[in-house]
Homo-oligomer: A and B are copies of this chain.
């Protein structure tokens, strides 16, 4: 069953163009996933009683139109299917006039909080009841190969404003660090059309994250690594000219 959640774009969620940033939209998409899982009885709150939690593995977002400051958006979400390892949760984003302005597709796994081992999702009956087998509205999140360069273009140390209750970085913070590595002129000329992101390892308070980037005409690929070399995530952004 698909459910709908309503949000409003606050002034702090827009960039210089006075339209929502991709970061704010991804924050609302993940908030919707959390609220919907809670509503259906399989949110992190429920899982925690069994020492389990959800982990976001991959995400793809396509934006048709970035909503403006103070605009209301409606995010519709449903669980498309469940495998042993991953479940697919999809999203449509509408504006107040019910016009589609974006889509997203996410893959999630359940892990044991102590051992970090991946659990078989099919063993959780509450969850498997909720499938709505409507296809993902966009191409599923692809596997992104890491950037080959050995020279980071930027770095970021994980601080107080980056972390959640586990002292891990919030996933959408990564997107901000990637975008901040680009010159402002890039945003004056281009809009994000599609973002694919693969989450590989967590980053925690104090980690120094190195940002690697390769750029062609319509795609930018990013790799984030801890200073120790461990890969944190790979992402690809497809742009369209403004």
**Interface, chain A (partner B; CB < 8 A):** 10-12, 14-18, 21, 23, 27-28, 30-31, 34, 159-161, 163-167, 170, 172, 176, 179-180, 182, 184, 187, 205-206
Contact = CB atoms under 8 A, between A and B. Distances in A.
Given A176-B161, A179-B160, A180-B160, A11 B34 contact: yes
A21 to B, nearest CB: 7
A99 B180 CA distance: 40
A145 to B, nearest CB: 25
A159 B31 CA distance: 25
Q: How many identical subunits does the complex contain?
A: 2
A184 B161 contact: no
A160 B172 contact: no
B184 A17 contact: no
Given A34-B11, A187-B160, A16 B165 contact: yes
Nearest to A170: B12
Contacts of A12: 27, 31, 170, 172
Nearest to A187: B160
A180 B167 contact: no
A170 B21 CA distance: 15
B182 A16 contact: no
